[in-house]
Structure 1
């Protein structure tokens, strides 16, 4: 059964009471906007609260009751950010700890321990997205070997958790610009070395667009290499046909890294660097923009790539998560003014995503 959710890493709460508070502030409002009996949420749990929940069955039961009481369901977790994802400055910190560390493995297994108790009865499996090994520097054969061992440990842990629960939880590495795995070609090479019963990829469609990959070729590349597509993040990136137009400066901000890629292959690790270096255009920028609202002209988004990609992915994946985490750093004219406006914006995105899935299923 296909599931659609929105990712809660857009919200800053990192303790159980704060997370439950989000359900009333945002998720219940979104469900009301969409007039649906059940709303999927792709829950983000920071490492400290994940560790607490993994050790506390009563707290997990409480979380499940709070979800059920509001008509909310969870089949997927976002395990990429480890903590403090809405801090004033995140940038490269989001890539730490990486898969060379036992902390990353244990965090991911804690998420699996939690997820098996949150899965609705109708869900056949759970999914967790994670970072694709590490940021690309420093990286060498020794770090790769250590990471491969961590993923072997992860697979064994997932097998044990899933056997006890009676339903599998699988982990998807999420290719991202600037990381060890940035493209589906790199994923086909590296992720194919991992245990495909438990580990595959999470395809983020903004990242796919930033890599200037053709969706059909990307999906064929992964499936041809035997790499399962565990999860899809429905997102759109910022695009500038003419970067010299000057309006891109409105998107330079201090919180998140906005890797920029040119159609010619030129690359910068952040938008301000791309502007300073005057990379040749056109550009695609790792800046998740709302699916339903085009940026101010002359900028556009890669939503057309998103739509094509969804058509290719519907036959091979059943977990789709809308992930626009940048609402709070959008240029002021496009930024929601309050919680109600943010909930309305996310609901509008969910409606677009639902229509994309419906079109792809015809």
Structure 2
């Protein structure tokens, strides 16, 4: 959806399609009819933004074939849909029965991760609306923290130089600016704002920056005002914001039905205690309160004593859009856990999921409107 900051700057609000499993072009187009087009109609939006997830094989096919890119753009336009951002974190197989640590592979030491990200940049350059200032691609924060050593860090730094050069070539060829945002996440090489600044400030910050996931920020127990101030002072741009909320509770025993086998749910407490997955946190050695990397729908309030980190999201949005100029213009609602939610919260049909996706976007739009953003 197109929104407008009080300064007049256009803001783009979308939902991320990594909630859907298709990994080929026909499947992606079918998803547009099953979910995205109904969501647009429910919201009464003239145009609905999508944060597309394209798995590596379909990204490569699209990057290699202008006719396929043209087909995808026409299919989007015909349904009143547009794309200014892509999610390039999961490489493929994001809806396998067990994903866990596999989502961090290939990492940024590998040619495969570089190739995939540049494929996405080439695709996005052709999908961008004519009046969009730029496009964004989010990616993983280098890789999982183990194994990681100085040699791997050096190799990743060289990959980032190649990435910046590749993005410059895309701009030279197409005239479109594409930026890549690295997404700090608990347990990864870069999981905090401080680590992001230390790792990325010396890169090409015209093209590389941060994808700020607000559930991840909350799970790190960071204060949004402090984190965003540090990013501003370091000159590290926020390329994209993922609007997301994590689980929170002071009663860990209430979380057992959220332990599930597909995704990794890193768990943290404010003293710096941690477990790499929720199922590992139940051994009694991690005192509460806990914040859990489990994306809960923004508009859903779980049963007490559980809560979500929506208050952190609200604090962050005040910092992001409360100044005379916004700190970011791409906002993507990223709740990919609908299929693994406890049964009472899980949509049973595609139509129910579409309604819930619309409700979540409506919640995000209302939060932005409360801060002076208009349609």
Q: Say whether residues 1:52 and 2:51 are aligned partners.
A: no
CA distance in 2, matches of 1:361, 1:107: 37
1:255 match: 262
CA distance in 1, matches of 2:157, 2:372: 36
Q: 1:235 aligns with which of 221, 244, 249?
A: 244
RMSD of the alignment, in Å?
Answer: 0.8
Deviation at 1:165, TM superposition (A): 1.3
Deviation at 1:72, TM superposition (A): 0.2
Q: 1:101 aligns with which of 77, 102, 110?
A: 110
1:329 match: 340
When the two structures are aligned, how many residues end up with a matched partner?
360
- Local SS of the residue matching 1:360: coil
Q: Say whether residues 1:316 and 2:323 are aligned partners.
A: no
CA distance in 2, matches of 1:216, 1:140: 31
CA distance in 1, matches of 2:184, 2:17: 20
Q: Please, which moves more after superposition, 271-280 or 292-301?
A: 271-280
Deviation at 1:356, TM superposition (A): 1.5
Deviations 1:89-130 (A, max 9, x none): 100000000000000000000000000000011211000000
Q: Say whether residues 1:10 and 2:24 are aligned partners.
A: no
Q: Say whether residues 1:187 and 2:196 are aligned partners.
A: yes
Q: 1:332 to 1:278 in 2, by over 3 A?
A: farther
1:264/1:280 contact within 8 Å kept: no
Q: Please, which moves more after superposition, 147-156 or 271-280?
A: 271-280
CA distance in 1, matches of 2:115, 2:369: 37
1:135/1:180 contact within 8 Å kept: yes
- Local SS of the residue matching 1:9: helix
1:148 match: 157
2:292 match: 285
2:85 match: 76
- Local SS of the residue matching 1:193: coil
CA distance in 2, matches of 1:115, 1:361: 29
Deviation at 1:223, TM superposition (A): 1.3
5+ residue gaps, structure 1: none
Deviation at 1:360, TM superposition (A): 2.4
Deviations 1:63-107 (A, max 9, x none): 000000000000000000000111111000000000000000000
Give TM-score scaled by structure 2 length: 0.95
Deviations 1:211-239 (A, max 9, x none): 00000110011111111100000000000
Q: Say whether residues 1:122 and 2:125 are aligned partners.
A: no
